[in-house]
Amino acid sequence: MAHLLVVESWVGSMSRLLPRALAEAGHHFTFLTRDLHHYLRPAPEGTAHPLLTARNVVTAPTNDVEALLPQVERLHGALGFDGVITSCDYYLPTSARIAALLGLPGPSPESMENACRKDATRRVLAAAGVPGPRFAVCADGAEAAVAARDIGYPLVVKPVDLCAGMFVRRVDGAEQLAAACEALAGFPRNARGQRRAPHILLEEFLDGPEVSVETVTRRGVAHVVGVTDKSIGGAPAFVETGHMFPAALTPDDLAAATRTAVDAGAALGLDDVVAHTEIKLTADGPRVVEVNPRPAGNRITELVRHVTGIDLAAACVDVALGREPDLRRRDTGLRSAAIGFLVPGTAGTLASVEGADGVRGADGVLEVQVAEAGRTVEAADSNNAYLGHIMAGDAAGLGARARVETLLADVRPLLVRS
């Protein structure tokens, strides 16, 4: 049994999968947060959020690393930690700093800083010759306008330090670029109250299907667990509307995507880490979109588990403890698994989700989750706006995506206009 320090978390699926993995392995954990109410809000009435099953819940200034480190050092002296972990991108560098301070396993703070800052990732990968889009890092909209003329439209505007596709936009001209830069400038702090870097990342628009490569790196050796496909909607935003594992790729595309992802992780110096690397398969070859040094979100880890039996949340715990993760594949009875999201196209108040009960018992269904009535809904412009999902598997082959799309066609959110 080990004792881990969990530093903040997302409040989505990983905030439940990580405590499950800890419990199943017989470990216990101390949960460190600056705002406990952030985790109370999403818990269903009458239940406790899984993160609150911690042996200790400690309030600490997780947004102020210099103030936090001496407090954590004192906690370690009193409680004794064997590893440090988080699922939230905004606290990955902090967790790495803590692990380094306490002499515990984990990736280097520099590698996590570079992987979590999209502008730094671009610079490191470009210097290492890992293929990506042409890009420019700009201080403001005026610089972006100049850089855009050099890169050429269409291009993609990104914040350097946000997640879930927030404020990521395709722009086809100067007017759209100015609007995207203005919107980004109007969001000075992220959802955790951290002040954002004001820089704007411009990238060449990459045309082609997108996949993600799921890897576990331990002691300098990257293990490729598999490749997941991705469907995108919500233009000019980039909203992930679904995924299937494994991706239906040719052997050449599979090899090129995995090689590029492994090269990207090596260039960043990522070690003792579970990673989710997004790749565009363009006509000119694979190009890195992002390197995320943590398990995939959007329940991709569950798609992987349903097909291979590999638990990436458990692997994340193991590498945080300096242990070899169990990456043996098992016969689960499924050849593919897919998820499709209910993505609102308009604003209003959710009255109900028609058809959800009818698909729960359908053949191959693994999960059905829908939002509760009364929720205020905005048209989706990031991955934070889902109204639910359907997950299904296929025992015969790569038919899970088609199965999910058929089931989603029978489910319809009903909105009342505000």
Residue-wise pLDDT for 190-231, tens only, equals: 999 999 999 999 999 999 999 999 999 999 999 999 999 999
The CA-based angle 161-166-172, given to 5 degrees, is 105
Of the given ranges (264-268, 269-273, 413-417), which has the lowest mean pLDDT?
413-417
How many CB atoms are closer than 10 A to CB 37? Answer: 7
d(CA 301, CA 303): 5
pLDDT one-digit tens code per residue, 402-415: 999 999 999 999 99
d(CA 113, CA 92): 8
At 39 the pLDDT is 84
**What DSSP assignment string belongs to 315-333?**
HHHHHHTT----------S
Average pLDDT over residues 325-343: 97
DSSP 237: B
Q: Encoding tokens for residue 87?
A: 């699922």
The CA-based angle 144-147-152, given to 5 degrees, is 115
At 154 the pLDDT is 97
**What DSSP assignment string belongs to 71-139?**
HHHHHHHHH--SEEE-S-GGGHHHHHHHHHHHT-S---HHHHHHHHSHHHHHHHHHHHT-----EEEES
Q: Does the pLDDT value for residue 417 go beyond 90? A: no
**What contacts 378, CB < 8 A, 6 or more positions away?**
344, 347, 385
At 52 the pLDDT is 84
At 50 the pLDDT is 87
d(CA 46, CA 183): 38
* Domain spans of the chain, in order of start: 1-103, 132-202, 206-331, 334-417
Confidence of residue 418 (pLDDT cuts 50, 70, 90): low
Owner of token pair 């991709």: 300
Cis peptide bond prior to 286, omega within 30° of 0:
no
d(CA 62, CA 35): 9
DSSP 196: P
**What contacts 175, CB < 8 A, 6 or more positions away?**
none
Name the CA dihedral angle for 399, 405, 409, 414, rounded to a multiple of 10 degrees: 140
Judged by DSSP in three states, 369 sits in strand
d(CA 391, CA 378): 23
CB 286 within 8 A of CB 279: yes
DSSP 264: H
Residue type at 134 in one-letter notation: R
Cα of first residue to Cα of last residue in the chain, in angstroms, is 52
Confidence of residue 46 (pLDDT cuts 50, 70, 90): low
DSSP 254: H
Per-state percent for the chain, helix, strand, coil, to nearest 5:
35, 30, 40
Judged by DSSP in three states, 279 sits in strand
- Global pTM reads 0.95
Considering only the top CATH level, what class is 206-331?
Answer: alpha beta
DSSP β-bridge partners for residue 50: none
Confidence of residue 47 (pLDDT cuts 50, 70, 90): low
| Percentage of the chain modeled with pLDDT above 90 | 92
> What's the whole-number average pLDDT of the chain?
95
In the sheet that holds 169-171, the strands lie side by side as 135-138, 200-204, 155-159, 169-171
d(CA 30, CA 33): 10
Residue type at 285 in one-letter notation: G
pLDDT one-digit tens code per residue, 76-129: 999 999 999 999 999 999 999 999 999 999 999 999 999 999 999 999 999 999
d(CA 269, CA 290): 15
pLDDT one-digit tens code per residue, 351-381: 999 999 999 989 999 999 999 999 999 999 9
Q: Does the pLDDT value for residue 255 go beyond 80? A: yes
d(CA 96, CA 110): 9
At 13 the pLDDT is 85
At 15 the pLDDT is 87
**What contacts 96, CB < 8 A, 6 or more positions away?**
84, 106, 107, 108, 109, 111, 112, 113
HSE-up (13 A, CA, CB side) for residue 57: 14
Q: Does the pLDDT value for residue 388 go beyond 90? A: yes
* CATH code linked to domain 334-417: 3.30.470.20
* CATH code linked to domain 132-202: 3.30.1490.20
Identical fold between 206-331 and 334-417 = yes
* CATH code linked to domain 1-103: 3.40.50.20
Of the given ranges (44-48, 63-67, 266-270, 342-346), which has the lowest mean pLDDT?
44-48
